[in-house]
């Protein structure tokens, strides 16, 4: 009996429930990835994430070959491609890890209507629909969600990677997609082995300082595991188990707090996957109906300055250039630039949401949408609308010496720490001294934060 392991965002052999099910039900398994033109043409996928995916497929193919198997690549409409492959191979079942995005669920319903498709858990530690209030409704606030989540018996044994996978020899495959290639500036090595090494390193040290260091943009205080969780090169269960191992091994209270805080971040991920599952409409509009009528200004020139990292606010510009160069941005910086786009430039959060999806290697519809709606104040469990980040203060607090700014803004590299967050305050003599002319080497601020703050408050008052 042949079964198909349909790979979508679970590019791993270890702790993979779909692969395990396929192996349990067939003596031969066909690992399949379908290049779906609908996703690539959606306008939400940029070259960096696509390149990371393609490099990840090559890594997975290599791991499969070491086990006597290989990756089968097809391209086109998934329903049609699966039907063809089932007909050609006489496969009796298709196993895949369930996804929560509206597109994925519609696609999988269409497949299931024609073919024996079996969906497994694994995208999240606990299935997206599993955490409900006593009255059976979904949570819309994080803290009670997290309490309920933690009260569940969520831990289970990690499924080992299979040692051998038998795959029929006569299945046709397209070559592995190689273009676009992963730029050297993207600091993520694709694949399951790289993810495991990163997780070990984080669990054995950085996690104990996570509670304090995670907000510092100038330090490497975060796990940087998001691209791996995005493509399932690391299972959520494995990550959560590592958090608990660190919690148990923590030498003191501060270390325990670090591990606890990181586990909470994983639960935030679970929360936003659950929100998208229960409220798919958040992808197109504000979760809160009264927030759907906000009168954004939507100035395209200001948006272009934001994407280019030319706003005149150093921490905003450093973050936007980090994103363009590496496909990743520090989480604190994501909040700062999102607050700046919505509350200083008065631009619709959905413009920023789309741009992030185009740029981010870890771009995930649920987490990205949740983060943007939180900052914009339009979402579930939203930040209060009057909570407007001051980009200068945020820079001074979370990049105290300006090292993050200097890394990404070479034109400000020679400014001292007490000037680097407010280059617009330099005198002409200082501009000469630090070799940075305002308006030429670095832009003057494109808006005045202290003028825009009341305008944003007024925009949000109209409800």
Partner DNA sequence: TTTTGAGTTGTTCGA
Partner DNA sequence: GTCGAACAACTCAAA
Looking at the Cβ atoms of 16 and 392, the one nearer to DNA is 392
Q: Among 166-174, 186-194, 263-271, 322-330, which window interacts with DNA (CB under 7 A)?
A: 263-271
- Selected from 25, 148, 354, 455, the binder of DNA by CB under 7 A is 148
Among 387, 425, 432, 437, binds DNA (CB under 7 A): 387
Q: Give yes or no for a contact between 314 and 423, defined as CB atoms under 8 angstroms apart.
A: yes
Give the Cα separation of 196 and 202 in Å (integer).
10
Q: Which two tokens stand for residue 46?
A: 């940029």
Q: CB neighbours (10 Å) of residue 187? A: 12
Q: How far is the CB of 339 from DNA (least distance, A)?
A: 8
Smallest distance from DNA to CB 206, Å: 17
The number of CA neighbours under 13 Å toward the Cβ of 119 is: 15
Count of residues binding DNA (CB under 7 A)? 37
Q: Is 335 in the site for DNA (CB under 7 A)?
A: yes
133 binds DNA (CB under 7 A): yes
Which of 222, 311, 394, 431 touches DNA (CB under 7 A)? 394
Residue in this structure with the two tokens 């079964």, named with its chain if needed: 3
For residue 400, state whether it binds DNA (rule: CB under 7 A): no
The reply to whether 372 belongs to the active site is yes
- What is the nearest approach in angstroms of DNA to the Cβ of residue 370? 8
Give the pairing type, strands 2-7 and 93-97: parallel
DSSP secondary structure letter of residue 223? -
Catalytic choice (328, 349, 374, 408):
349
Placement of tokens 């999102």 in the chain? 338
Annotated active-site residue in 6, 351, 372, 374: 372
Q: How far is the CB of 383 from DNA (least distance, A)?
A: 6
Among 219, 383, 413, 452, interactor with DNA by CB under 7 A: 383
The DSSP result for 135-163, as a single string, is TSPBP-SHHHHHHHHHHS----PPPPPPS
One residue of 1, 158, 308, 393 binding DNA per CB under 7 A: 393
Q: Is 455 in the site for DNA (CB under 7 A)?
A: no
Within 8 A by CB and 6+ apart from 125, the residues are 154, 236, 237, 240, 266, 270
Say which of 5, 149, 262, 268 is annotated catalytic. 268
Longest distance between any two alpha carbons in the chain, whole Å: 79
Q: Supply the minimum distance, in Å, between the C-beta of residue 178 and DNA.
A: 36
Regarding 216 and contact with DNA (CB under 7 A), the answer is: no
CA nearest to 375, candidates 404, 405, 332: 332
Burial of 432 (0-12, 13-18, 19+ CB in 10 A): exposed
Report the alpha-carbon distance of residue 353 to residue 355 in Å, rounded.
6
Query: Minimal distance in Å, beta carbon 138 to DNA?
Result: 7
* Residue range at the interface with DNA (CB under 7 A); choices 111-119, 193-201, 277-285, 392-400: 392-400
Bridge partners for 117 per DSSP: 94
Half-sphere exposure for 365 (CA within 13 Å, toward CB): 22
**Residue 25 or 288 having the CB closest to DNA:** 288
Q: What is the Cα–Cα distance from 331 to 323, expressed in whole angstroms?
A: 11
CA atoms within 13 A on the CB side of 41: 6
The binder of DNA chosen from 105, 257, 397, 407 (CB under 7 A): 397
Q: Which of the residues 157 through 196 are near DNA (CB under 7 A)?
A: none
Q: How far is the CB of 212 from DNA (least distance, A)?
A: 13
Per-residue CA distances from 285 to 85, 292, 300, 403, 409 (Å): 38, 7, 20, 37, 34
> Could you tell me which of 39, 110, 118 has the C-alpha nearest to residue 79?
110
Q: Is 94 in the site for DNA (CB under 7 A)?
A: no
- Sole binder of DNA in the list 260, 381, 399, 411 (CB under 7 A): 381
296 is catalytic: yes
Catalytic annotation on 349?
Answer: yes
Task: Tell me 291's DSSP state.
Answer: G
- Our CB check for DNA shows the closer of 103 and 279 to be 279
Our answer to whether residue 268 is catalytic in this structure is yes
Q: Which is nearer to DNA, 132 or 159 (CB)?
A: 132
For residues 168 and 280, which CB has a smaller minimum distance to DNA in the complex? 280
For helices 391-398 and 314-326, what crossing angle results, to 10°? Answer: 70
| Nearest distance, CB of residue 143 and DNA, angstroms | 3
Q: Catalytic site residues?
A: 265, 268, 296, 331, 349, 372
Q: List contacts with DNA (CB under 7 A).
A: 133-134, 137-145, 147-148, 215, 264-265, 268, 331-332, 335, 371, 374, 381, 383-390, 393-394, 397, 449-450, 453
């Amino acid at each position: 009996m042949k079964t198909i392991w349909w790979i979508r965002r679970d590019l791993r052999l270890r702790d993979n429930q779909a692969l395990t099910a396929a192996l349990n039900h067939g003596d031969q398994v066909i690992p399949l990835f379908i290049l779906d033109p609908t996703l690539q043409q959606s306008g939400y996928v940029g070259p960096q994430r696509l390149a990371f995916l393609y490099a990840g497929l090559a890594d997975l193919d290599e791991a499969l070959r070491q086990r006597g198997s290989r990756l089968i690549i097809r391209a086109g409409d998934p329903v049609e491609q699966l039907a063809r492959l089932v007909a050609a191979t006489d496969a009796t079942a298709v196993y895949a890890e369930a996804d929560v995005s509206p597109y994925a669920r519609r696609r999988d319903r269409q497949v299931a209507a024609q073919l024996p498709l079996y969906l497994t858990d694994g995208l999240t530690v606990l299935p997206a629909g599993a955490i409900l209030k006593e009255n059976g409704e979904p949570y819309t606030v994080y803290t009670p969600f997290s309490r309920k989540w933690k009260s569940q018996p969520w831990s289970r044994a990690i499924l080992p990677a299979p040692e051998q996978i038998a795959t029929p020899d006569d299945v046709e495959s397209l070559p592995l997609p190689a273009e676009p290639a992963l730029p050297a500036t993207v600091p993520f090595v694709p694949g399951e082995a790289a993810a495991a090494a990163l997780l070990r390193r984080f669990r054995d040290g950085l996690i104990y300082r996570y509670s304090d260091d995670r907000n510092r943009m100038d330090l490497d205080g975060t796990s940087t595991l998001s691209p791996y969780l995005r493509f399932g090169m690391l299972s959520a269960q494995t990550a959560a188990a590592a958090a608990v191992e660190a919690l148990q091994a923590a030498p003191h209270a501060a270390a325990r707090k670090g591990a606890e805080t990181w586990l909470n971040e994983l639960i935030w991920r679970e929360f936003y996957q659950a929100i998208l599952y229960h409220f798919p409409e958040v992808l197109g509009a504000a979760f809160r109906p009264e927030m759907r009528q906000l009168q954004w200004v939507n100035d395209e020139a200001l948006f272009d300055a934001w994407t280019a990292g030319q706003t005149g606010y150093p921490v905003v510009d450093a973050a936007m250039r980090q994103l363009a160069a590496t496909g990743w941005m520090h989480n604190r910086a994501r909040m700062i630039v999102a607050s700046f786009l919505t509350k200083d430039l008065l631009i619709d959060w959905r413009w920023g949401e789309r741009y992030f999806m185009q740029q981010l290697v870890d771009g995930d519809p649920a987490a990205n949408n949740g983060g943007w709606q939180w900052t914009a104040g339009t979402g579930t469990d939203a930040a209060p609308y009057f909570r407007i980040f001051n980009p200068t203060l945020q820079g001074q607090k979370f990049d105290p010496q300006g090292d993050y700014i200097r890394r990404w803004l070479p034109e400000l590299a020679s400014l001292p720490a007490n000037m680097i967050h407010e280059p617009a305050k330099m005198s002409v003599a200082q501009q000469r001294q630090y070799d940075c002319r305002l308006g030429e080497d670095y832009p003057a601020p494109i808006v005045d934060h202290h003028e825009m703050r009341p305008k944003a408050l007024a925009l949000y008052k109209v409800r």
